[in-house]
Structure 1
Amino acid sequence: MSKLFDLTGKVAIVTGASSGLGRQFALALAKEGAKVAIVARRVEKLEGVKKEVEALGAECYVHKCDVMKSEEIKETVEDVKNHFGRIDILVNNAGLGWADAAENTSDELWTTMMDTNVNGVFYFAREAGRVMKDQEYGKIINIGSIHSTVAMPGLPISAYATTKGALLMMTKALANEWAKYNITVNAIGPAYFPSEMTDNLLESGAISHVIEHTCPMKRPGRDGELDGALIYFASDASSYTTGQLLQVDGGWTTV
């Protein structure tokens, strides 16, 4: 059974890996034996994550990339393939979170959200998918949200929820299109987990009140509680699973 989740020899790209969930995903993959390419805009923070990955005995490659720039994405995927010789796993984690009333959402904010949370995910999947198609093997894991399927009373997240809903349909469509190439495409839908993007929100009294009264487990997620879903989708344990969204939300979307 242990070999079912073994990633020894596999090559993974993790976007948005300079902090938060991206860092956790890189470490989780490294623990299972994967070689990891970590990608983000802040190279200085990536170097710190690289040291943590290498301390686990895994090979790590750092590459600067802005997911809002398709040319940088193409260059990144090409460089990772040239460095490692292949790409087996893509974790599309980079994203932007923002809460603002729909009527106050500027064109600039809307465009930035779409460019980061939708376009960047598609472009990375497209470029990695080309490599995986030639290999006839690949695992793409998109990081969605509970807001891929639900909104939240009192929280103005129309722009954010729209991008995460789009990501869910993208996951299904790519899964359908690429299944014949032995490429699986799945998504993880986290509730609220501690990260650089959510810390201020989680520390606010308003969201704590919502979590206590809306989430059946009455708490946010904890470090490591997404690792199982990630490794399942990244490994051959999920060889017959594609186009799925796995909500990791303490039961939030059951009510």
Structure 2
Amino acid sequence: MDITSDTHSQHISRQFNHELEDLKNHLMAMGGLVEKQVQDAVIALIEGDSSLARQVSDQDRTVNDMQIKIDEECTRVLARRQPAASDLRLVMAVTRAVSDLERIGDEATKIARNALTLSESDNGKKGFVEVRHISERVRNMVRDSLTSFARFDIDLALKVVHEDEAVDSEYTTAMRSLMTFMMEDPRSITSVLSVMWVLRALERIGDHANNLAEYVIYLVKGLDIRHIDPDDLDEEALKQRN
């Protein structure tokens, strides 16, 4: 059974409707926070803003608390309602999604910590162009994956899945360039390593956004595509799958 935006408004129990809607709303709130964490962490890095970097790090506890709260809500719904079919998929997808969102928050914190290190360095801003570009792409991935979850939008979820491949390619190219630069100028090794850790964190954020998109496909179509190569996906068949 496909899920549409109206699927979860048809329960006999109005309270159950509210519980399911609350799960989605709390997931979106957590997603909005971690998306801003990523944005602020990159700004802190590019602008050398140590105060903003510390603020991002301080938000990590709030993100962790939100994860615990949503997990507890999911557990209560499972225990009290014993949902089946699409409702069960929704609860399971939310549980998985909050784990990935928490990890996105962790990666944003890593970027913030490296921003603090780099703010104290005088070795230039090598790799910042790549950081800015890749960060914009992964932030869009996070935003689109959350939007696809809110709207049960398969097309948008598939867009995120394919975007992850492009991010991986750019990440590999950027890392090779920085490796070459370090070999040519050993004095830059410390600062360039910090930038490489930032790029690695951004690549991981893209992976987690990709996971969120895959959960949407599982939620709407009941199909687990985690181990299917995106190039092997029959997207038209997927969209028509009941």
TM-score (norm 1): 0.29
More helix by share: 2
Larger Rg: 2
